[in-house]
Amino acid sequence: MTNSGSIQSTLQETRKFLPASEFSAQAHISSEEQYQSMWQKAKDDPAGFWGELSQELQWIKPWTEVISGEMPETRWFTGGQINACENCVDRHLTSWRRNKAAILWEGEPGDTRVLTYNDLHREVSKFANVLKKLGVNTGDRVTLYMPMIPELAIAMLACARIGATHSIIFGGFSADAVADRNNDAQAKIIVTADGGWRRGKEVPLKSAVDESLTKSHTVQKVVVVRRTGQQVHMQTDRDYWWHDLMSDVDPHCDVVPLDSEHPLFILYTSGSTGKPKGVMHTTAGYLLGTTMTSRWVFDLKEEDTYWCTADIGWITGHSYVVYGPLSNGSTVVMYEGAPNWPDEGRFWEIIEKYRVSIFYTAPTAIRAFIKWGDHWPQSRDLSSLRLLGSVGEPINPEAWMWYHRMIGQERCPIVDTWWQTETGAIMISPLPGISATKPGSCTRPLPGVVPEIVSKEGTPLEANEGGLLVMKQPWPSMLRTLYGDHERFKQTYFSTIEGAYFAGDGARRDADGDIWVMGRVDDVLNVSGHRLSTMEVESSLVAHPAVAEAAVVGFPHEIKGEGICCFVTLKTADSEGSDSLTADLIQHVRKQIGALATPDKIRYTAALPKTRSGKIMRRLLRDIAAGRESVQDTTTLEDLSILAKLRDSDDA
């Protein structure tokens, strides 16, 4: 298990913080009894519970059955027809909300745009017509590889409007990663931009798309948003400017009625093998999950200004920048760039400027803020904030306390939300009106979520015993399959523990029943809140001509949570790697996967420590990478390997 430093500190954590009574009084879920009765009802009668809540959505045709089939083949709201875009946009047009800001957007250079729900409706309808004109049909896959600009949200919702399944690729991924994902999803078109702004530099997206298209052949058309104005190559009859297409298209587009289980999107995420998994979510269940959790966890109210800092390229952005808040008719802040551009106070400036009331970010960002210094938030007026959230990795108590004091000014509840790409929506989290929060604990399951902590054999564990976190009951927003590989879906999530969903985390429950997630128990790293498989980095390294073998492990990193340490053996007899080779290998991995996979350390060794059966001893390597083993400079890995063989050599 990784991040042992923070596990140590969470084991000793005893502080508790109760919500202020004024907050509780106005919250959507405002009493313990209310929570208990919701949770119990959802457990005992899930069909009744979710069936009632489904009335929160607008249906085209009512469903006939809430839940059918056993996990993992559960289907939700059978017989119903619905459209996610209609729920996020059109249904707000019948009231004064029509003129409410849906998106308050700020570009990194400081340019701004406001889109009301009416504006959003017009732009989305137009782009849906553009997609149709380009030959996109219901059921086709559309790749979106874009910066954080309103056109990304518009393109998603336009896909949803006509029932095209979007597959968003985070802008930090490389051309190769784009090609792999396009091929796997068999995407018909790709929407991109010339580039995006990040720390004052232009991130070239269109040129990466051009490169990816030499390796992926299903893509027929490319739509390009002009964002940075940089020079790009436009291929006739393949590449089109967004603004040209939008200038002459009908602003009216009917929504397409879609079955509840129609695939809404695919989102690739790292698993414990090298090949990314295409997590597939469907329409009604996902929408209901994100709609309700947005309301329960963020306590969303009509007048809130809500800002989730995640990039839409990740699940957090899908669920809590776009679908969840827009389905609730909220005003969402969207920011294009880096938190430290032009200076380290940018986020606090944005909060002050837009009077943000709900702020949702990641522990890695919080740790960076701490390092940058208190004077940045202190020099801004943060009094508009009423609730803070955290997501993506376990939050260390120190970062939690700083967030609580410096940003929340001891006034704002903190919701530490545990969930995954696969779960679609938040699963375990404090409810801000009732929960006693504890620094480092995501506390209790939301209504409809029935977690258990079990041993490897599946036996439920006692309080404070660490084990595997599993889900015993299906929930509406769970993934339905891995695109094109249903076997892998069953194998990955439903074969470890009989009759339960398991997606790779270790956790414990304390004596109060609160859950503490400790981190991944598989070979998945969590680098700055981004999932990355060690195998992905390893296969990239061994594809380099100089490398014979590679083993990649995580190590505790002050800002990133986990850093990437690569142990490498070379093909040439002498194992001494040079500085220039190190630079070359780092560049190679960045090129193959993307900047998010940049190795922090490359260590050369003559051989990798292995068990008798030839398995790489990762635990030993993790200890070395973390500096936990008192490794003498002269000690080689072979020596350690022998040492480890003498001890228990079964490295799990």
Q: Find out whether 547 is annotated in a ligand binding site.
A: yes
Residue 246 CB neighbour total at 10 angstroms: 18
Annotate 41-71 with three-state secondary structure. HHHHCHHHHHHHHHHHCCEEECCCEEEECCC
CB of 483 to ligand WTA, least distance (A): 16
Do residues 150 and 122 touch, judged by C-beta distance below 8 A? no
Q: Shortest gap between Cβ of 525 and ligand WTA (angstroms)?
A: 10
> What whole-number distance in Å separates Cα of residue 624 and Cα of residue 631?
7
Of 125 and 396, CB closest to ligand WTA: 396
The least distance separating ligand WTA from the CB of residue 292, rounded to whole angstroms, comes to 17
**417 carries a ligand binding annotation:** yes
The reply, when asked if residue 416 is annotated as ligand binding, is yes
- Is 632 annotated as contributing to ligand binding? no
Length of the chain equals 652
Buried b (16+ CB within 10 A) or exposed e, 415-451: bbbbbbbbbbbbbbbbbbbbbebbbbbbbbbbbbbbb
Output 129 or 423, the one with its CB closest to ligand WTA.
423
- The residue of the chain with the least Cβ separation from ligand WTA equals 421
392 in a labelled binding site: yes
Q: Is 144 helix (H, G, I), strand (E, B) or coil?
A: strand
- Is position 475 annotated in a ligand binding site? no
* Annotated binding-site residue? 243: no
> Which residues of this chain interact with ligand WTA, rule CB under 6 A?
269, 314-316, 391-394, 416-421, 442, 503-505, 517, 519-520, 526, 531
Distance of alpha carbon 210 from alpha carbon 175, whole angstroms:
8
Q: How far apart are CA 156 and CA 147, in angstroms?
A: 13
Cα–Cα distance measured from residue 55 to residue 73, given in angstroms and rounded to the nearest whole number = 24
Instruction: Kindly state the smallest distance separating residue 363's Cβ from ligand WTA, in Å.
Output: 8
- Smallest separation, CB 514 to ligand WTA (Å): 12
The least CB distance from residue 612 to ligand WTA, in Å, is 31
Q: How far is the CB of 152 from ligand WTA (least distance, A)?
A: 18
Residue 170 Cβ vs ligand WTA, minimum distance, rounded to whole Å: 10
Residue closer to ligand WTA, measured from CB, 242 or 475: 475
Of the candidates 223, 157, 153, which has an alpha carbon nearest to the alpha carbon of residue 187? 223
Query: From CA 354, how far away is CA 582, in angstroms rounded?
Result: 44
Closer residue to ligand WTA in complex, CB, 27/315: 315
Of 394 and 577, CB closest to ligand WTA: 394
Question: What separation in angstroms does the CA of 363 have from each of 90, 298, 366?
Answer: 35, 17, 5
Q: Which is nearer to ligand WTA, 314 or 483 (CB)?
A: 314
Could you tell me the two tokens for 537? 């980095």
Query: How far is it, in rounded angstroms, from Cα 547 to Cα 535?
Result: 15
What are the structure tokens assigned to 59, written together?
Answer: 């249906």
Peptide bond into 342 cis (omega under 30): yes
Is residue 615 within 8 A of residue 551, CB to CB? The reply is: no
The answer to whether the annotation marks 393 as part of a ligand binding site is yes
Of the pair 210, 416, the CB lying nearest ligand WTA is at 416
CB 22: neighbour CB atoms within 10 A? 10
Strands (E), 392-448: 414-417
According to the annotation, is 647 in a ligand binding site? no
Q: How far apart are CA 164 and CA 46, in angstroms?
A: 30
The phi and psi torsions of 610 (rounded to 5 degrees) equal -130, 155
Question: Who's near 477: CB < 8 A, 6+ residues apart?
Answer: 281, 285, 286, 288, 289, 290, 423, 424, 425
Least CB distance to ligand WTA at residue 215 (A): 26
- The answer to whether the annotation marks 90 as part of a ligand binding site is no
Which amino acid makes up residue 212?
S
CB of 405 to ligand WTA, least distance (A): 20
Picking from 332, 353, 359, the residue whose alpha carbon sits closest to that of residue 102 is 332
User: Which H helix or E strand runs over 601?
Assistant: strand 601-604
What SS3 class is residue 424? coil
**In this structure, are residues 420 and 408 in contact, taking their beta carbons and an 8 Å threshold?**
no
In angstroms, the CA 35 to CA 447 distance is 7
Q: Which is nearer to ligand WTA, 178 or 310 (CB)?
A: 310
Asked whether residue 389 is marked as a ligand-binding residue, the answer is no
Does 628 show up as a binding residue in the annotation? no
Q: Which is nearer to ligand WTA, 262 or 318 (CB)?
A: 318
Residue 420 counted as an annotated binding residue = yes
Helices (H), 427-533: 486-494
Give burial (CB, 10 Å; 0-12/13-18/19+) of 519.
buried
Minimum distance between the CB of residue 320 and ligand WTA, rounded to whole angstroms? Answer: 9
Q: Which two tokens stand for residue 486?
A: 């249903």
CB closer to ligand WTA, 258 vs 442: 442
Q: Is 200 annotated as a binding residue?
A: yes
Q: Which is nearer to ligand WTA, 392 or 433 (CB)?
A: 392
Instruction: Say if CB 356 and CB 346 are below 8 A apart.
Output: no
Q: Is there a binding annotation on residue 198? A: yes
Q: How far is the CB of 325 from ligand WTA (least distance, A)?
A: 15
Task: Identify whether the C-beta of residue 619 lies closer than 8 Å to the C-beta of residue 651.
Answer: yes
* 394 has binding-site annotation: yes
Among residues 174 and 421, whose Cβ is nearest to ligand WTA?
A: 421
Q: Are strands 239-241 and 258-259 parallel, antiparallel or unpaired?
A: unpaired
Using the minimum distance from each CB to ligand WTA, give the nearer residue, 144 or 468: 468
CA dist., res. 637 & res. 626, Å (int): 15
CA–CA distance, 423 with 47 (Å, rounded to integer): 18
Q: How far is the CB of 269 from ligand WTA (least distance, A)?
A: 5
Smallest distance from ligand WTA to CB 442, Å? 5
Nearer to ligand WTA, 364 or 641 (CB): 364
User: 258-259 and 81-82 as β-strands: parallel, antiparallel, unpaired?
Assistant: antiparallel
Could you list the residues known to form a binding site for Mg(2+), using ranges: 542, 544, 547
Could you list the residues known to form a binding site for CoA, using ranges: 198-201, 316, 340, 528, 590
Could you list the residues known to form a binding site for ATP, using ranges: 392-394, 416-421, 505, 520, 531
Could you list the residues known to form a binding site, using ranges: 198-201, 316, 340, 392-394, 416-421, 505, 520, 528, 531, 542, 544, 547, 590
